[in-house]
Structure 1
Amino acid sequence: MRIPLFPSSHTLRVAALAALAASALLLQACSTVKLAYNQAPQLAYWQINSYLGLSDAQAERVRSELGDLHQWHRDTMLPRHAELLQKVQQQLPSDITADQACRTYADVRAQIDRVIDELQPRLAGLAAQLTDAQIRNLEKKQADSNADWTKEWVNVTPEKLAEQRYKQLLSRAEGFYGTLEAPQKQALRQFVAQSSFDAQRTYAERLRRQKDLVQVLRQVSAQPANAERNSELLRGYLERFNASPDADYQRYARKLVEEGCAGFARIHSVMTAAQRAKAVQSVAGYAQDFWVLAGR
């Protein structure tokens, strides 16, 4: 399961290409990390193709770009991910403060931002090749995804929403710490009950980002040969994805991060020594897998 460093919902996802970053930071079960990582380019290609319907020439270029990005990530980022996990491993046997949790979160974000920097010019190259039909197909896929999202998170009662969030976080936590008992479950429910998470506000930002992306892609497709302009357009989109131009949403997002750091610290504080040992073992396994994948 994912390492439950709250709030995991704020991990950057930039189209399907970000799967290369997510494959290293949003972890599956330890036994499948190597397999999942090695399959990341194929999975990312499948996602991109499902959203855009690539031509043969586009597909060849995307596969090549994904292969290059994957090799760069293996050589450059996997050792950094492993080092960060080793740092986390050293902290887990003891209580962790909210400040420590937020520093770890900031380190994760910094590593993802480094991947996004490497990704940006590749996105610009693909965007310049898109047709109007492909952008319309992207919009349709966005609408389908939004229908599923609203069904699960918006069009539900507050009680059902809280229960869904609790079950999601419980699954992540138990994948990390092992089986949770009553005291840990109570702390988790308290975290959910006190959370400022607002599904409607989150959904509104989701729609803004999607509309922003489509507008940028249409601007790029209008002048595909202007590489410098198009790169700047994509860079601006990624910056707005990372930090919303909506000041109210920025404050909301910061509040969720702060609550997530405090929530993780509080829940970790009620874990038993055995549960913390299980977490240490889990992180050590992830770090070892990353070193092996990096060929170190």
Structure 2
Amino acid sequence: MYTFIDEFIQDEITYFLDLNEKEEFLLSQRVTEMVNWHRTSMLPRYAAYLINVADKIEKKEYESADISKLLGNARFLVEQTVSGLTPYASKFLINYLTIKDIEFIEKRMLMRQQERITELSRSEDILYTERLKRLSINFERFFGELNDLQKKLLESHTSQTLGESRVRLHNRTLRQKVFIRFLKTQPSETELIAYSEKLLIRGHLIINPSYKDFSATSLKRFEILLANMLKASSEVQMQTIIEKLRGYANDFKVVSN
């Protein structure tokens, strides 16, 4: 999967920027730098994190407080990743702040928003079925075949969180609007880095402060789900989880070298 990350990032950026052939080549170089940083700086940290999670599960340390700490550590890794990648992205984006460039970015954002609105406008039955399927697949990747209690836990969690996607889309839309407004001020590269990082990590300080409470509630729900899923696991499932985590950790170590 990591082999294709360069292409994925480049495709996403070129969607939002109207680039010529020379600019796409320069983007390719910048993306390679980003991926190399992530590979050498973050993958070893991800590996250490997964090993720690595996060790905790092996020791049966997965009460709610334990899970809360593990999720907090995961969030810290995400923030480190964002902080590390933002300067690379900003160094490229700073060259595309003309009125025409910003209008193109805004237009593409609106197109993406409309696509997502269309997806979320389908019936609740369809949204429920699709969300439950995604959630089940993600857990099965680590747990193997799920038992009846675990399936019921996922069904309940899906019902409770079905409306979260709309809240996240609304928040993303608000953040994109303030980002476009910020770009129009013609910031310096340093200002762009600082603002982008703040918007991505602590966006509630810029717009939609209530989103902080929503995020905390959502995370707490997932924390409870994860703790209950682990408590409902068989010994075979526990061993499967531990082996999967250590396997991914080893893969990260190999790729990072």
* 1:216 aligned to which of 172, 182, 187: 182
Cα deviations across residues 235-277 of structure 1 (Å, max 9, x unaligned)?
A: 4433443766323221111100111111111122112111222
> Is it true that 1:201 corresponds to 2:163 in the alignment?
no
* Unaligned stretches of 5+ residues in structure 1: 1-35
Partner AA of 2:20 in structure 1: S
Distance 1:186 1:233, change over 3 A: closer
* 2:86 aligned to which of 120, 123, 143: 120
Aligned equivalents of 1:74, 1:62: Cα separation in 2: 18
Comparing 156-165 with 126-135, which one deviates more in the overlay? 156-165
* 2:36 aligned to which of 68, 71, 74: 71
Question: Which residue of the partner structure matches residue 294 of structure 1?
Answer: 256
> Is it true that 1:142 corresponds to 2:109 in the alignment?
yes
Question: Which residue of the partner structure matches residue 264 of structure 1?
Answer: 226
Structure 2 SS opposite 1:39: helix
Aligned equivalents of 2:19, 2:195: Cα separation in 1: 22
Q: TM-score, normalised by structure 2?
A: 0.88
> Is it true that 1:83 corresponds to 2:48 in the alignment?
yes
Comparing 233-242 with 257-266, which one deviates more in the overlay? 233-242
Partner AA of 1:267 in structure 2: M
Partner AA of 2:95 in structure 1: Q
Question: Which residue of the partner structure matches residue 250 of structure 1?
Answer: 212
Structure 2 SS opposite 1:219: coil
Distance 1:227 1:184, change over 3 A: closer
> Is it true that 1:111 corresponds to 2:77 in the alignment?
yes
Instruction: Please tell me whether the aligned partners of residues 16 and 104 of structure 2 are also in contact (alpha carbons under 8 angstroms).
Output: yes
Distance 1:170 1:262, change over 3 A: same
Alpha-carbon offset, residue 126 of structure 1: 1.9
Distance 1:58 1:219, change over 3 A: farther
Cα deviations across residues 25-60 of structure 1 (Å, max 9, x unaligned)?
A: xxxxxxxxxxx2133223211221122122344323
Q: TM-score, normalised by structure 1?
A: 0.77
Partner AA of 2:33 in structure 1: D
Question: Which residue of the partner structure matches residue 235 of structure 2?
Answer: 273
Instruction: Please tell me whether the aligned partners of residues 82 and 197 of structure 2 are also in contact (alpha carbons under 8 angstroms).
Output: no
Partner AA of 2:174 in structure 1: R
Alpha-carbon offset, residue 67 of structure 1: 1.8
Distance 1:45 1:100, change over 3 A: same
Instruction: Please tell me whether the aligned partners of residues 43 and 256 of structure 2 are also in contact (alpha carbons under 8 angstroms).
Output: yes
Structure 2 SS opposite 1:247: coil
Question: Which residue of the partner structure matches residue 30 of structure 1?
Answer: none
Distance 1:83 1:194, change over 3 A: same
> Is it true that 1:102 corresponds to 2:64 in the alignment?
no
Instruction: Please tell me whether the aligned partners of residues 204 and 210 of structure 2 are also in contact (alpha carbons under 8 angstroms).
Output: no
Give aligned-pair identity as a percent: 20
Question: Which residue of the partner structure matches residue 246 of structure 2?
Answer: 284
Comparing 267-276 with 133-142, which one deviates more in the overlay? 133-142
Alpha-carbon offset, residue 213 of structure 1: 2.2
Aligned equivalents of 2:204, 2:54: Cα separation in 1: 28
* Unaligned stretches of 5+ residues in structure 2: none
Structure 2 SS opposite 1:156: coil
Partner AA of 1:146 in structure 2: Q
